[in-house]
């Protein structure tokens, strides 16, 4: 169904961003406008999910030219879920920003850049055109550069330079892949590409192109061995931004991989998806080992992003309905919980001024609310039942065993164990023990105003655990859509 | 759904606590008490063989449901959980002072109660696992209740790591069972039990599930967490780490007996692990100088005994096992509670610094006498009956010929040690010359100064952080304990005002059961023991009556041997302890293994991370390019993707050759230029070459764009250069340079080959034809490129404009907002 509805999650943040530029002096006005826009996008996203469930896949041919020639936007259930998550996390981190981002940044277009960031992410989720995907990648990257570097501390400049250069490197690969794909298939529309690829008599070069895409999206999604840019650059960012990026940004790469490896490159899964499966195992393992080697709240969390991404890709690599549903469920779980944990780190930083484990202690006594929020979110990340992390991992494990892939299931379980170890390390150092006299936590209840955005995410993680039936139903439905490319192709062409 | 009641109350506690204060304990105790009464009322129907079954859909699409199944086995456990739960909660009211974090305490304990009830009542394996892990988490929180102490943190982590490791193995085992039977419902699995042992998944399922059970129930060699778990407040140790939680593994084995039992693997694994744990635990208990550590090892050994019985797997053995579960909970729970009282009142738990306490605390002494007599296996106490059954079962175990003598011998040896430590706890502590902790030096012959267990951990945990003000040490590790100086106990330490009634009465209530059940075993035989045994066995179990007297038979003879040798052992206790000490004084033991393992894991992780996360961009780019070359290069080669023929190519002119040559030379020159200016000029040459290429290919507007981009960036570079420091010569080794060169050449070659092959593999008509045909018709413009940019793909252009705009504003923001001025800038 062709509808203008689905361009709104892209256009609304863009227009808000432009408007915010004019109010750069009036921080209050900026906050109100940004909040209204974020709430509106949230409502829109949820409505889109509802509409997709009612009417099937929604499309928009921008400019109303016929299908393979116009840029097409597509909202299927997976895309709908992703934009809902993106608006949820952007909303939570926005409210967290109000209390943690300093006035200087607020006057220097922080909220405007933030809106453009949302625009880029939503655009990437909603596009049905491979070159347009490149464009939105550029938007979300340029916005992420500035959000990482804004403030201009030496460490920020150093790490974002690496982040930027590696991402430009990946953009080159992206262009290469699109160029070769275009010369083979003569089209940029992803549904059309899927048709042409399935008809192509010789597929060797196409498989090579799929590997280039894997490099590109692996870089964005921080897969093994392409994740080097991630841990340090997220560490230097302010917590609100680290939470926003940690939850969402890598997932754009994962989303794109799942999209093309369920829609386009599905003809040689025993080769391509097997490679993905191996990468997922190494990603999980090396990510969690990286986390174990760190002694800083935010650094540990950054490394865990890598290991968690491995689980999602594991679902893609297994490539069965249950596995893909598990991956979708895992993405939902991860985005919520990971953002939440970064926000908890932000809360900790707010009250103590540090995230260094050796300088922290005893917060359970002084700030019990933070301790409880962390415990729930940390256990969920580690996959402790009955929180959302458990059921999503469980689905993946079950899918793996059903296919006799014992090795990857073993790795998944091992990593889950090590994740718990790592979460408990944070818990023991930050919340247990005694207060560090050199870094005394701020007394008073001022920090409680920052709790609601975090608490909402924790409640959602608990809710998605106890109500796993519902979310698993949605994930299964979206996995069925993903594994039935014909429906996507028919809706678009 | 009574299972959920504790969780509901746990949620309310933080809100009620500020209003009720210390009295909240009474409110909390009301819950397990009313549940206990409710479960008592369920005994009659369940005795009749009518189990309670409730099925509440939870996640039906994944086969996960909240299925509650209450048969004899589950009922026995539920009664223990709620009954002892009531006693413990009442006891804690006096045990914990008002200044403790009581809100947390009661939340944890309720969480545990609900989780434990859920574990023993769920008949869905996944739901069981959910509750199972919740017990591990609540145990973690309770062990770490005094979280300012390093020992508590250490013990909490150790218990969690080991039990969660087992839990994860167990869930994998459950998944294997699912692969065999297609369901997670235990009752449905039992119905298909016949096809389990023959399946190829049987052995992995068995081993993995047993890993879960053994870690939880502290079986050798996974028992090492239990002594460290003694850092928890003593009522918690009594409740979780002796009476209930550690029996979850036993419960699981009993529950799984109809499915997994009856095979040789089951028989040998369980009986040997159980036997070793029994003997080893009782042996180690002797050498502990801390009463709580002694109890920890005694619990380990008794759990081993029950596992042993389940391994023997005859009707008698299973009945003995469930009976002993009940008996052990009564006597060991009471012993813990008494030790709690002693610690609370005297401030120490060191065997060598205590004596004659019966004069100060006569009723407490009575409780200990009852409980330890049962523990020692003396008539007429309950454990005498179950121990006789145990002896009987070992005599008829079946299996290989050597088990016929090995099993009874091990049973007797374990029981002798058990007798000795029970006697020490009762007689040494409560009789003889009065010693109540303070002032008496080291009475023992052995003093280790530092426990190596902690030395390792402190190495990488924050060192020297708060060795809490409560100095009791329950290492109870294989090293024995070192420090002998306890500071003041909990709440009011030191003062001896006679029996503290708030704690003694609950303990007495529990201990009296040892005698009541011993004298009247009929009370529990038909109501609890046989229904529970039937639940574990899978069908009705009939055994000879439970009774103290079975005539002169081999078990009675074995009991006599135990008592005689046990008395002898008590008489020469210190000498015996020295013997034990000398045998078990190895520097390398399981605790060291655990500590080195944890430490090695962290060090290994750091090493592995440091070699790849170097912090150098050039390394990262090399890694990424290598992966690109490997993945794409291998694929294009293996899948026959390369193609260089069949292209309709225009002839290459001389100009183009020259231009290409110049660009190559200029590119290479960038690498060798000594300063930035020269480098950037070389780069400019490359850019201009591209511009000329566009002109040769007759794309003037592209050439113009490229020219402007080149000019602007060159100007920008020159502007910025004035502010940059001198270009430093990068120090890179020759071999690294060589690698970089190879990687660069290989990536370049690969990209070129891909582009050529792509050009040669045009399989379909491109969409650009549509743009050519419709550019004027639909877009109203002659310049196709412009129409595509602003019309056909205007949405892309909007995005690109956004990128440029963001870049512009970013530069402005970066220039204006600099650190130092930062937030203060107006």
Q: What share of chain B is helix, strand, coil (3-state, %, to 5)?
A: 70, 5, 25
- A137, B348, B352, B410 from B483: Cα distances, Å: 62, 11, 12, 33
Q: Which residues of B223-233 are buried (b: 16+ CB within 10 A; e: fewer)?
A: bbbbbbbbbbb
Q: What pLDDT shows up at residue B479?
A: 38
Query: Between A and B, how many CB-CB pairs are < 8 A?
Result: 326
Q: What pLDDT shows up at residue B477?
A: 38
Does A151 have pLDDT greater than 90? no
How many residues would you count in chain B?
A: 826
Residue B716: inside a domain:
no
Q: Which residues of B326-357 are buried (b: 16+ CB within 10 A; e: fewer)?
A: bbbbbbbbbbbbbbbbbbbbbbbbbbbbbbbb
Q: What is the mean pLDDT of each successive set of 10 residues along chain B, which is 826 residues long?
A: 86 87 88 93 87 88 90 93 93 87 90 94 94 94 90 92 94 94 92 89 95 94 91 91 91 94 91 94 88 92 94 91 93 93 88 86 91 90 90 85 88 92 89 70 35 35 35 38 37 58 89 90 86 87 80 86 89 84 68 89 92 87 94 93 82 89 92 83 90 89 90 87 76 86 94 92 88 85 85 92 94 84 42
How many residues would you count in chain A?
A: 493
Burial class (CB in 10 A: 0-12, 13-18, 19+), B221: middle
Asked if the C-beta of A270 comes within 8 angstroms of chain B's C-beta atoms, the answer is no
Q: What pLDDT shows up at residue A232?
A: 86
Burial class (CB in 10 A: 0-12, 13-18, 19+), B107: buried
**Which of B 148-167 lie inside 8 A of A, CB atoms?**
148, 152-153, 156-157, 160-161, 164-165
Last residue of a domain, one of B567, B599, B631: B599
Q: Where is B53: in which H helix or E strand?
A: strand B52-59
The residue that leads in pLDDT, A109 or B440, is: A109
Residue B514: inside a domain:
yes
- Please list, in sequence order, all residues whose beta carbon lies within 8 angstroms of the beta carbon of residue B763, skipping any fewer than 6 positions away: A184, A185, A186, A196, A200, A201, A202
Burial class (CB in 10 A: 0-12, 13-18, 19+), B504: buried
Residue B675: inside a domain:
no
Closest CA to A128 of A25, A260, A21, A31: A260
Last residue of a domain, one of B599, B632, B660: B599
Last residue of a domain, one of B599, B626, B657: B599
Beta bridge mates, B350: B290
- As for how many domains chain B has, the answer is 2
Residue contact A151–B817, C-beta within 8 A? yes
Q: How confident is the model at residue A332 (pLDDT cuts 50, 70, 90)?
A: very high
Q: What percent of chain A has pLDDT over 90?
A: 76
Q: What pLDDT shows up at residue B443?
A: 35
Q: Would you call B475 helix, strand, or coil by DSSP?
A: coil
Residue contact B632–A143, C-beta within 8 A? no
- Please list, in sequence order, all residues whose beta carbon lies within 8 angstroms of the beta carbon of residue B124, skipping any fewer than 6 positions away: B63, B64, B65, B66, B67, B184, B185, B186
**Per DSSP, which regions of A81-164 are E strands?**
none
Give the separation between CA B583 and CA B592, rounded to whole angstroms: 17
B569 near B577, Cβ under 8 Å? Answer: no
Q: Where is B57: in which H helix or E strand?
A: strand B52-59
The residue that leads in pLDDT, B442 or A482, is: A482
Q: What pLDDT shows up at residue B586?
A: 59
- How many of the other CB atoms lie within 10 Å of CB of B649? 7
Average pLDDT, chain A: 92
- As for how many domains chain A has, the answer is 1
Regarding an ipTM greater than 0.85, the answer is: yes
Give the separation between CA A74 and CA A69, rounded to whole angstroms: 15
Q: Print the domain residue range for B803.
A: 775-826
- A354, A421, B172, B199, B399 from B265: Cα distances, Å: 54, 32, 19, 14, 11
- Please list, in sequence order, all residues whose beta carbon lies within 8 angstroms of the beta carbon of residue A42, skipping any fewer than 6 positions away: A84, A87, A88, A91
Give the separation between CA B762 and CA A180, rounded to whole angstroms: 9
- How many of the other CB atoms lie within 10 Å of CB of A353? 14
Which residues in chain B have their CB less than 8 angstroms from residue A113's CB?
A: 806, 809-810
Q: Would you call B589 helix, strand, or coil by DSSP?
A: coil
pLDDT in tens, A5-27: 999 999 999 999 999 999 988 99
How large is the average pLDDT for residues A424-449? 85
Q: What pLDDT shows up at residue B628?
A: 95
Residue B700: inside a domain:
no
Residue B769: inside a domain:
no
Q: Print the domain residue range for A451.
A: 4-492
Residue B721: inside a domain:
no
The residue that leads in pLDDT, B439 or A110, is: A110
The residue that leads in pLDDT, B550 or A99, is: A99
Closest CA to A256 of A195, A314, A214, A318: A214
Q: What is the dihedral of CA B574, B580, B582, B588, to 10 degrees?
A: -140
Q: Which of A244-248, A340-344, B590-594 has the lowest mean pLDDT?
A: B590-594
Beta bridge mates, A62: A71
Residue B628: inside a domain:
no
- How many of the other CB atoms lie within 10 Å of CB of B747? 20
Give the separation between CA B802 and CA A10, rounded to whole angstroms: 12
Q: Where is B351: in which H helix or E strand?
A: none
Residue B714: inside a domain:
no
Q: What is the dihedral of CA A147, A150, A156, A158, to 10 degrees?
A: 100
Beta bridge mates, B64: B59
Asked if the C-beta of A139 comes within 8 angstroms of chain B's C-beta atoms, the answer is yes
Does A370 have pLDDT greater than 80? yes
Q: What percent of chain A has pLDDT over 70?
A: 100
Q: Which residues of A397-424 are buried (b: 16+ CB within 10 A; e: fewer)?
A: bbbbbbbebeebbebbbbbbbbbbbbbb
Asked if the C-beta of A282 comes within 8 angstroms of chain B's C-beta atoms, the answer is no
Which residues in chain B have their CB less than 8 angstroms from residue A216's CB?
A: none
Asked if the C-beta of B772 comes within 8 angstroms of chain A's C-beta atoms, the answer is no
Which residues in chain A have their CB less than 8 angstroms from residue B59's CB?
A: 391, 468-469, 472
């Amino acid at each position: 169904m062709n509808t203008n509805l689905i361009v709104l999650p892209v256009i609304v943040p863009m227009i808000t961003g432009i408007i915010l530029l004019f109010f750069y002096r009036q921080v209050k006005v900026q906050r109100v406008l940004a909040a209204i826009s974020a709430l509106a996008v949230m409502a829109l996203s949820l409505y889109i999910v509802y509409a997709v469930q009612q009417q099937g896949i929604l499309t928009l041919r921008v400019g109303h030219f016929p299908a393979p020639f116009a840029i097409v936007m597509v909202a299927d259930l997976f895309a709908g879920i992703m934009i809902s998550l993106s608006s949820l996390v952007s909303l939570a981190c926005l409210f967290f920003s109000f209390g943690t981002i300093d006035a200087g940044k607020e006057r220097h277009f922080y909220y405007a850049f933030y809106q453009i960031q949302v625009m880029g992410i939503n655009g990437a989720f909603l596009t049905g055109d491979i070159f347009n995907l490149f464009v939105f990648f550029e938007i979300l990257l340029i916005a992420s550069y500035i959000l990482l570097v804004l403030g201009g501390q030496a460490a920020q400049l150093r790490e974002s330079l690496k982040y930027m250069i590696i991402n430009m490197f990946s953009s080159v690969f992206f262009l290469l892949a699109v160029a070769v794909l275009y010369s083979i298939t003569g089209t940029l529309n992803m549904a059309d590409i899927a048709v042409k690829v399935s008809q192509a008599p010789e597929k060797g070069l196409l498989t090579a192109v799929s590997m280039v895409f894997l490099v590109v999206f692996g870089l964005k999604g921080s897969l093994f061995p392409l994740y080097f840019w991630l841990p340090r650059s997220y560490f230097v960012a302010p917590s609100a931004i680290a939470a926003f990026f940690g939850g969402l940004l890598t997932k754009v790469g994962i989303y794109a991989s799942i999209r093309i490896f369920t829609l386009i490159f599905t003809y040689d899964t025993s080769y391509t998806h097997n490679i993905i499966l191996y990468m997922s195992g190494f990603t999980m393992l090396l990510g969690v080992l990286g986390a174990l080697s760190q002694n800083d709240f935010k650094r540990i969390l950054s490394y865990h992003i890598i290991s968690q991404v491995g689980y999602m890709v594991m679902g893609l690599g297994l490539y069965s309905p249950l596995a893909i549903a598990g991956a979708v469920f895992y993405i939902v779980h991860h985005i919520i919980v990971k953002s939440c944990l970064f926000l908890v780190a932000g809360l900790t930083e707010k009250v103590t001024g540090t995230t260094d484990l050796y300088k922290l202690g005893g917060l359970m006594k002084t700030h019990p609310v933070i301790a409880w929020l962390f415990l729930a979110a940390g256990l969920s990340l580690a996959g402790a039942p009955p929180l959302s992390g458990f059921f999503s991992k469980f689905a993946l494990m079950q899918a793996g065993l059903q296919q006799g892939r014992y090795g990857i299931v073993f790795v998944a379980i091992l990593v889950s164990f090590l994740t718990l170890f790592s979460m408990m390390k944070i818990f023991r150092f930050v919340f247990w023990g005694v207060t560090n006299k050199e870094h005394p936590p701020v007394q008073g209840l001022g920090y409680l105003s920052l709790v609601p955005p975090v608490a909402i995410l924790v409640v959602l993680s608990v809710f998605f655990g106890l109500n796993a039936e519902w979310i698993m139903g949605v994930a299964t439905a979206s996995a069925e859509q993903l594994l039935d490319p014909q429906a996507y192709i028919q809706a678009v062409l | 759904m009574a299972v959920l009641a504790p969780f509901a109350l746990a949620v309310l506690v933080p809100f009620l606590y500020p209003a009720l204060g210390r009295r909240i304990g009474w409110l909390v105790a009301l819950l397990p008490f009313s549940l206990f009464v409710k479960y008592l009322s369920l005994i009659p129907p369940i005795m009749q063989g009518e189990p309670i079954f409730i099925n509440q859909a939870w996640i039906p699409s994944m086969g996960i449901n909240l299925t509650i199944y209450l048969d004899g086995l589950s009922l026995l456990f539920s009664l223990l959980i709620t009954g002892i739960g009531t006693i413990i909660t009442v006891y804690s009211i006096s045990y914990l002072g008002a200044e403790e974090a009581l809100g947390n305490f009661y939340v944890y304990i309720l969480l545990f109660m609900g989780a434990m009830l859920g574990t023993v009542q769920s008949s869905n394996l996944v739901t069981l696992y959910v509750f199972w892990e919740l017990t591990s988490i609540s145990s973690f929180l309770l062990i770490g209740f005094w979280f300012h102490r390093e020992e508590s943190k250490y013990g909490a982590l150790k218990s969690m790591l080991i039990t969660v490791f087992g839990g994860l193995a167990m869930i994998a085992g459950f998944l294997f069972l699912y692969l065999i039977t297609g369901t997670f419902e235990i009752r449905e699995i039992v119905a298909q039990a016949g096809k389990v042992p023959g399946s190829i998944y049987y052995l992995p399922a068995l081993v993995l599930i047993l890993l879960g059970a053994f870690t939880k129930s502290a079986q050798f060699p996974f028992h090492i967490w239990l002594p460290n778990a003694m850092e928890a407040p003593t009522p918690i140790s009594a409740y979780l780490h002796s009476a209930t939680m550690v029996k979850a593994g036993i419960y699981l084995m009993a529950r799984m007996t109809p499915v997994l039992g009856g095979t040789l693997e089951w028989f040998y694994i369980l009986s040997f692990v159980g036997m070793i744990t029994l003997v080893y635990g009782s042996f180690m208990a002797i050498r502990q100088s801390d009463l709580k550590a002694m109890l920890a090892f005694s619990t380990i050994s008794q759990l081993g005994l029950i596992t042993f019985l389940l391994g023997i797997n005859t009707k008698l053995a299973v009945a003995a096992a469930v009976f002993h579960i009940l008996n052990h909970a009564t006597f060991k729970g009471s012993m813990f509670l008494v030790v709690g009282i002693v610690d609370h009142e005297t401030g120490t738990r060191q065997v060598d610094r205590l004596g004659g306490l019966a004069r100060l605390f006569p009723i407490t002494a009575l409780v200990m006498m009852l409980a330890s007599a049962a523990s020692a296996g003396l008539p007429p106490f309950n454990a005498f009956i179950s121990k006789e059954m145990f002896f009987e079962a070992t005599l008829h175990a079946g299996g290989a010929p050597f088990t016929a003598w090995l099993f009874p011998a091990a049973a007797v040896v374990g029981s002798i040690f058990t007798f000795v430590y029970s006697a020490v706890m009762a007689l040494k502590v409560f009789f003889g010359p009065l010693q109540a902790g303070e002032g008496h030096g080291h009475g023992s012959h052995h003093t280790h100064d530092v426990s190596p267990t902690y030395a390792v951990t402190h190495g990488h945990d924050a060192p020297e952080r708060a060795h809490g003000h409560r100095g009791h040490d329950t290492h109870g590790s294989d090293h024995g304990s070192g420090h002998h100086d306890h500071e003041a106990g909990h709440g009011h330490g030191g003062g001896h005002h006679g029996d503290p009634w708030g704690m003694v009465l609950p303990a007495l209530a529990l201990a009296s059961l040892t005698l009541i059940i011993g004298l009247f075993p009929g009370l529990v035989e038909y109501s609890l023991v046989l229904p529970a045994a039937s639940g574990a066995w899978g069908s009705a179990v009939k055994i000879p009556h439970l009774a103290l007297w079975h005539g002169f038979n081999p078990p009675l003879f074995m009991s006599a041997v135990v008592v005689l040798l046990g008395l002898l052992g008590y008489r020469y206790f210190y000498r015996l302890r020295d013997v034990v000490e000398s045998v078990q004084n190895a520097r390398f033991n399981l605790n060291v293994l655990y500590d080195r393992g944890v430490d090695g894991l962290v060090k290994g992780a750091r090493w592995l991370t440091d070699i790849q996360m170097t912090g150098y961009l050039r390394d990262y780019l090399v890694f990424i390019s290598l992966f690109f070359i490997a993945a794409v290069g291998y694929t294009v080669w293996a899948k026959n993707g390369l193609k260089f023929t069949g292209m309709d190519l225009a002839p290459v002119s001389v100009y183009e050759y020259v231009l290409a040559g110049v660009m190559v030379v200029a590119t290479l020159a960038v690498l060798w230029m000594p300063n930035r200016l020269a480098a950037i000029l070389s780069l400019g040459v490359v850019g201009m070459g591209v511009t000329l290429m566009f002109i040769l290919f007759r794309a003037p507007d592209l050439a113009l764009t490229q020219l402007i981009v080149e000019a602007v960036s060159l100007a920008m570079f020159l502007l910025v250069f004035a502010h940059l420091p001198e270009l430093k010569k990068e120090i890179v080794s020759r071999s690294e340079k060589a690698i970089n060169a190879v990687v660069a050449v290989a990536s370049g070659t690969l990209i070129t080959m891909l582009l050529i092959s792509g050009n040669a593999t045009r399989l379909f008509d491109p969409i650009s034809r549509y743009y050519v045909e419709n550019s004027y018709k639909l877009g109203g413009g002659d310049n196709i490129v412009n129409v595509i940019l602003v019309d056909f793909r205007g949405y892309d252009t909007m995005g690109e404009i956004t990128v440029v705009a963001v870049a512009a504003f970013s530069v402005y923001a970066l220039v204006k907002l600099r650190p130092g001025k930062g937030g203060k800038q107006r």
